[in-house]
Amino acid sequence: MCGITGWISYDNDLTTQRSTLEAMTATMACRGPDAAGSWLAAHAAFGHRRLAVIDIDGGAQPMTAEHDGRTLVVTTYSGEVYNYRELRAELVRLGHSFRTNSDTEVVLHAYLQWGEACAERLNGMYAFALWDPRTEELLLIRDRMGVKPLYYHPTPDGVLFGSEPKAILAHPAVRPTVDAEGLAELIGFTKTPGHAVYQGMHEVRPGHLVRVHRGGLSVRRYWALEAREHTDDLDTTVARIRELLDDIVARQLIADVPLCTLLSGGLDSSVITALAAGALAAQGSGPVRSFAVDFTGYTEHFRPDDLRGTPDGPYAHALAEHVGSDHRDIVLDTAALMDPGHRAAVLTARDLPNGFGDGDTSLYLLFKAVREQSTVALSGESADEVFGGYRWFHDPAAVHAGTFPWIAAGIGSRFAGGDTVREALLDPGLLDKIDLPGYQARRYHEALAEVPYLDSDTGLQRRMREVSHLHLTRFLQILLDRKDRASMAVGLEVRVPFCDHRLVEYVFNTPWSMKTFDGREKSLLRAATRDVLPDLVADRVKSPYPSTQDPRYTEALRAELKDLAADHDAPVRPLLDTGALAEATADGATCDIRPAAELALGMNAWLRTTGTTLRL
């Protein structure tokens, strides 16, 4: 996995702009700690930071394809193409020759053979740029599910692009500015495809490509979920899902560096760990290595709530013992979660303060510890969106609320360990100006308009197709972005097998009645993999990523909030409700401030460190 950036300018000679390109590339150093590279021509400049995973010696970038001393195409590429070996063999049969064993070179030759249609042949997670000197055109291409990020900022004579906004913001012509719509996107828990929060900046939508040429810029969708008749019976469906999962996990175990799994003890991560253990054993290269996050005293003093009914530890240990994994718990304490350096690193990684509070910091610290022993990790992310695992999928009030179901369920705050709304400390006048409910409603109806249907979709089946589509195209993007930023901040590549588009397409078109055939969540996944799991894990009820229950964490937040209240120069102060802030920080206050405090403190640090201008 890597960090990419670049600049296309049709009116300037970019060979004189190496220092600017290097400044943009330097912001991606965390994504690619192993090497840096650049390529400059008159109208195109590419930067690359490399995390070496496949073909350690031969995969340096930016990479070119040449013929008779002439450059045919250049790429700066981030990601993994899991079917690159099959594509390489096909391209060799078509007359192409290769000088490396990397998937990057396969992408170059795929473009030379099939043009922009090459994207439709790739199976993987990727975000890359291709510059064709013959036509002086740029292609920006992002994977189908949006696992890997890619941003762009049109300019009067071209475009700037990067894996993360910070690469674009490093260009002297771009200033970080956020308007009312951007602020609503930031705090609204909507993750609108293509929206980048910062003015003038866009995100390449999943399954899309952007073409830049002298005449301007155009966007084309090359993949989207389609509604198709599901003709397989239950037994065939379960068998097909298992067949796909076996193939997907085996493909994603390919790496020339140490590899592991992220194991929470939930169904999703346990399935990935168990299948990986079996595949590695078949290759004679086991055991699988697994890691779990935990908090000091969490299991011993766990208090269940309506979102998290059980602690992860006992289940993770049961699965690890069952498959014989080389397992390690990463145990975090409150001091580590509140450490200013760790929280600053998370903010830098995310570019925006719109996260999950201590959940973001703990994920960053987990990945930092994992990176000491592994370079690649397989994750269970997206199984809930694919198979219908979240509790609100099965809550009629949330399903039929007329908005995003996770918003109806209050998940923006509850994932962060609290019950109050995240915007509780924001000024009412500000909230009126950005009209958060109106913004969410517009985005919801835009999302609904994209849902494909069959004529036979009626009643609950029609609604659950909508709910599934909303999660796969909106909610999942929130989680994928979070996982990518936290992992790449420490140079760890996280793979997400459940995002394989073949599995997503197949299960999306499976009737809801079949997805819940046993009266539970994720019925199909459980049935397809029960044979590799202990019953304790297979029967566990869904529990989200853990959040610390240490009261000292909330106390520390309140103390920081008091300091902010006393700092009249704090940049976030004009955005806060003075009365609510006073009530939250009063001596003896016991009100639940956690999600709201984390948002207010995060916004303050963001405004102070990035110099972002709010134009509301």
Asked if 491 contacts 51 with a C-beta cutoff of 8 angstroms, the reply is yes
Nearest alpha-carbon partner for 225 in 474, 529, 516, 483: 474
- 239 by Cβ neighbours in 10 Å (0-12 / 13-18 / 19+) ranks as middle
Tokens of 261: 């799994």
Q: Residue 148: what residue type?
A: K
For CA atoms 317, 358, 559, 407, give the dihedral sign: negative
Q: Is 170 helix (H, G, I), strand (E, B) or coil?
A: coil
Asked if 135 contacts 72 with a C-beta cutoff of 8 angstroms, the reply is no
Tokens of 341: 């350096």
- Distance between first and last Cα of the chain: 37
Q: Is 28 helix (H, G, I), strand (E, B) or coil?
A: coil
Asked if 328 contacts 309 with a C-beta cutoff of 8 angstroms, the reply is no
Beta partners for residue 291, in sequence order: 262, 328
Kind and range of the H or E run holding 447: helix 436-449
In the DSSP assignment, the letter for residue 15 is: G
CA–CA separation, 507 vs 386, rounded Å? 7
Tokens of 263: 């194991």
Between 501-508 and 234-252, two packed helices, what is the crossing angle to 10 degrees?
160
Give residues with Cβ within 8 angstroms of 109, minimum separation 6.
65, 88, 91, 96, 98
Cα–chain center distance at 369: 19
CA–CA separation, 201 vs 157, rounded Å? 15
Residue 91, Cβ neighbours under 10 Å: how many? 21
- Using DSSP bridges, classify how beta strands 259-262 and 202-203 pair: parallel, antiparallel or unpaired: unpaired
Tokens of 182: 């951007």
CA–CA separation, 372 vs 241, rounded Å? 34
- 316 by Cβ neighbours in 10 Å (0-12 / 13-18 / 19+) ranks as buried
CA–CA separation, 593 vs 359, rounded Å? 16
Cα R_g (the chain), whole angstroms: 24
Nearest alpha-carbon partner for 217 in 163, 137, 143, 146: 137
- Using DSSP bridges, classify how beta strands 2-9 and 158-162 pair: parallel, antiparallel or unpaired: antiparallel
Tokens of 74: 């250049």
- Concerning whether 2 is annotated as a catalytic residue, the answer is yes
Strands (DSSP E) contained in 304-363 are 326-332
Nearest alpha-carbon partner for 144 in 490, 502, 539: 502
Upstream peptide bond of 287 is cis (omega within 30 degrees of 0): yes
Active site (catalytic) residues: 2
